[in-house]
Amino acid sequence: MIDMAARRRKDNNDDINQNSLKAQLTDVNAKDMPASDMNITDLLEDNYMPYAMSVIVSRAIPEIDGFKPSHRKLLYTMYKMGLLSGNRTKSANVVGQTMKLNPHGDMAIYETMVRMTRGNAALLHPYVDSKGNFGKQYSRDMQFAAPRYTEVRLEKICEEIFRGIDKDAVDMVDNYDGTMKEPQLLPATFPTVLVNSNQGIAVGMASNICSFNLKEVCEVTEAYLKDKNCDLLEYMPAPDFSGGGYILYDKEAMRSIYETGRGSVSLRCKYHVDKKNNLIEITEIPYSTSSEIIIDNIADLVKAGKAKEIADIRDETDLDGLKITIDCKRGTDHEALMNKLFRFTKLQDTFSCNFNILINGSPRVLGVGQIIDEWLKWRRTCISREYAFNLDKMKKRLHLLDGLAAILLDIDKAIRIIRQTELEEDVIPNLMKGFDIDKEQAEYVAEIKLRNINKQYILNRIADREKLIEDIKDTEDILSSPRRINTLICKGLRDVAAKFGQERRTQLIMAEETPVYEPVVEIPDYKLHLMLTRHGYLKKHTMQSLRVAGELKTKDDDEIFMGFETSNKSDLLFFTDKCNVYKSHVYDFADTKPGELGHYIASSLDMDDDEHVLFMLATTDYKGEMFIAFKNGKAARFPLSVYETKQNRKKLLKGYSDLAPAVSFLYFYEGEHPDLIAMNSLDKAAVFAQDIIPLKSTRTTQGVQLLVSKKGSTLKSVTRLSDISVSNPEYYRIRKIPAIGYFIKENLITTKQIGIEEI
């Protein structure tokens, strides 16, 4: 019963609300159409579209000068208050004065100011020099002080933003109540729209412009002005953020952002590892996040048991700047921990670019080149208007000096006319008649002080007239010459870069060179036996399965030609006849039963169809040496560590020299120095010490000549002397290389590992 009564009351209220809405809609459109003919779509369009356009055009989207209306009104108020020079004033004074231009409320104005201050550190080049607590861009919880406690004035860089504003460089429009004038745009001498980041959310669209280095912006603008087809990335490779850190640089992705105005930039924190105290100090974080969010992320990881290496985390931010300290447990791999944190926390974040800018009142998403092009068009207009203003002033000044020059011929006559004129109002007409000058010129002459009516004063003014004529000609030439206007733009850009340019805060690291986090999987470690068949099948047997196994199964025409014991966590290297080395892990292959053929290596490692495995090796530490003998009689010896890589690469091209086919592969443990025996196609053999072959540092070394090739002979194999039954090995011993060898006098029993050419 209670539910039914409540439902009836709700239905009655809905009816009342709907009737009230209909009545309101009818009143709104009563003058335009009858209520029965009213269309809700038309009503929404008539009432909502003006609001949407107002937000887009007058609030959220920046214009080509790089400012939103709220920024522009605030900065212009400070400029009119004389805060470009002199002492700071209380922020409350600025907020109060700005309300004459911006009626949106004092707190909204103050929050706008906070973001533009040096103290907040949100902008790469702040516009407001601040004193007091303005919070920090990188902190969510650090609140700014009230406006009555803080003080502000304009930064010196604002001289370049307002340069020419008093010379009609931009249009001045009425404020909201028509009592004051304010600039429609600010005549900045450099592309502020690219120098400082700007974000805004409008109705149905948004803008998110990242900041770029001022020096690089000036250089790329000048380069674009001279050649529109220049490579922008060459001068300005990537954005530069006030928070510093690193950009994971992908040149092609960045080129796409420059061309389309859309895309994302990957940012990563900057940190320092203190191995002595076993801690990590994070000093710079991505611009798009805050220190509190990062600490919360890491704390959640620790609670979930995904970051067991962390003992404690604390925020040590102070007057020296941001610092997040992570205490690690003993034995922690700091780099591996940071890779994990990059993967699961905001220590690595993205900045989504959306270069949406108002151009002549219309929002447009532009690439960097298009933004520079639009800015140059607008800047040319500003310079032309400024010089036109100067030209008008100079022409008016010249006109007055022309009148002064007219009385030079007879100063006494001018004095006589003034003295003999009875009425004051007749002085100007009498001077006009006496010297044939107009009213403005006569006013100028009449206002000259008595002490200045002398020949020296007038001659000095005439000298100014000659220079003024030259300046007028030069100004007219500038206004008629696009080339000279471009030169002035370039000069202004160079001056700004020299005065206010600074080194990049955000450094670049290549994305493909950064290690990627891979989850650690608990891998069981146990002893096992690996076998490789000539057809490329890998058999992995546990020691227990081998003890109870009968005959090991292979194909009819296949056989096992090498095998050894190892552990499940070892790395596997496969050497192929195309001089490639494939890397894998033993645990990547499942255990096989004696009755199974095994894993087909060519398929598992994506080898070419005609590629075959010649040798297999397992290692855990990449210590020891590799020895490779080639058909042309040469032999190479180099450390196994040349195959150790930081990235999990499966294929190493040019794993060894390709000048001649390999005939034998040997691996020597660290400190092992066995005797070896080499045999060639002439049935000659040579016994030698392993270290007679010099150790090289590169895996592609072609080696040194071991046996001299005679009568087209080739090297057949090199193997350990201990693997061959030789009754008198000293008969075959050689002391230096290259050697000819000795004819074999007995039957040598070779192992199946010899004879790679048969595969």
Tens-digit pLDDT profile for residues 320-374: 889 999 999 988 889 989 999 999 999 999 999 999 999 998 999 999 999 999 9
Return the pLDDT at 35.
46
Q: Answer whether residue 16 shows pLDDT above 70.
A: no
Is 302's pLDDT higher than 60?
Answer: yes
Place of tokens 């009655």: 12
In this predicted structure, the answer to whether residue 753 has a pLDDT above a threshold of 80 is: no
> How many residues in the chain?
759
Q: Is the pLDDT of residue 400 over 90?
A: no
**What architecture is domain 372-500?**
Orthogonal Bundle (1.10)
Mean pLDDT over 664-670 rounds to 92
Residues 479-535: pLDDT tens digits? Answer: 999 999 999 999 999 999 999 999 999 999 998 878 877 766 677 888 998 999 989
Lowest average pLDDT, out of 40-49, 142-151, 578-587, goes to 40-49
pLDDT at 444 (0 to 100): 86
Residue 520 pLDDT: 62
- Residue 688 confidence class, pLDDT cut points 50, 70, 90: very high
Quote the longest CA-to-CA distance of the chain.
Answer: 147
pLDDT band for 24, please (50, 70, 90 cuts): very low
Instruction: Assign domain 270-346 one CATH number from 1.10.274.10, 3.30.465.10, 3.30.1360.40, 3.20.20.140.
Output: 3.30.1360.40
**Integer angstrom CA distances of residue 573 from 5, 540, 603, 736:** 79, 15, 15, 31
The average pLDDT across 579-590 equals: 91
Measured at the CA of 480, the angle between CA 475 and CA 483, to 5 degrees, comes to: 95
pLDDT of 242 higher than 90: yes
pLDDT for position 167: 93
Listed in sequence order, the residues at least 6 apart from 369 whose beta carbon sits closer than 8 Å to its beta carbon are 224, 228, 232, 258, 259
Q: Is the pLDDT of residue 156 over 80?
A: yes
Helix (H) or strand (E) holding 665: strand 662-668
pLDDT class for 747, splitting at 50, 70, 90?
low
Percent of the chain scoring above 70 in pLDDT:
92
Q: How far apart are CA 156 and CA 125, in angstroms?
A: 10
Positive or negative, the Cα torsion across 366, 372, 373, 374?
positive
What pLDDT shows up at residue 86? 85
φ, ψ (nearest 5 deg) of residue 532: -125, 130
Q: Enter the CATH code of domain 67-131+145-175.
A: 3.90.199.10
Cα(194)–Cα(224) distance, rounded to whole angstroms? 14
* DSSP symbol at 421: -
What residue spans in the chain does CATH classification 2.120.10.90 cover?
Answer: 527-758
More confident residue, 447 or 77: 77
Distances from the Cα of 436 to the Cαs of 398, 404, 426, 428, in angstroms?
16, 12, 15, 11
pLDDT tens across 203-236, in order?
888 899 999 999 999 999 999 999 999 999 999 9
For residue 428, give the H/E element and its range.
helix 427-435
Quick: pLDDT tens for 164-201.
Answer: 999 999 999 999 899 999 999 999 999 999 999 888 88
Specify the pLDDT at position 57.
79
The region of weakest confidence among 19-28, 313-322, 545-554, 724-733 is 19-28
Cross-sheet strand order for the sheet of 507-510? 198-201, 206-209, 348-354, 262-268, 246-249, 507-510
Start-end of CATH 1.10.268.10 domains in the chain = 372-500
Residue positions annotated with a catalytic role: 149
Residues 453-469, mean pLDDT to the nearest whole number: 80
Predicted confidence at residue 234, as pLDDT, reads 94
Q: CATH 3.90.199.10 residue ranges in the chain?
A: 67-131+145-175
Q: Model's pTM, two decimal places?
A: 0.67
Residue 19 is predicted with a pLDDT of: 44
Across the chain, mean pLDDT equals 87
CATH number assigned to the domain covering 527-758: 2.120.10.90
**Pick the residue with more confidence: 127 or 421?**
127
- pLDDT for 757: 39
Where b means 16+ CB within 10 Å and e means fewer, 335-374 reads eebbbbbbebbbbbbebebbbbbbeeeebeebbbbbbbbb
Per residue in 713-739, pLDDT (tens digit) is 899 999 998 888 888 888 899 988 999
CA distance 443 to 436: 13
Give the pLDDT confidence score for residue 105 in this predicted structure: 85
Residues of the chain with CATH 3.30.1360.40: 270-346
β-bridge pairing 613-619 and 571-576: antiparallel
Does residue 749 have a pLDDT over 70? no
pLDDT band (50, 70, 90) for residue 253: very high
Is residue 65 scored above 80 in pLDDT?
yes
Type of residue at 500: F
Average pLDDT over residues 707-715: 87
Determine how many CB atoms are found less than 10 A away from the CB of residue 545.
15
Residues 6+ apart with CB under 8 A from 753: 561, 562, 664, 719, 723
Q: Phi then psi for 98, rounded to 5 degrees?
A: -65, -25
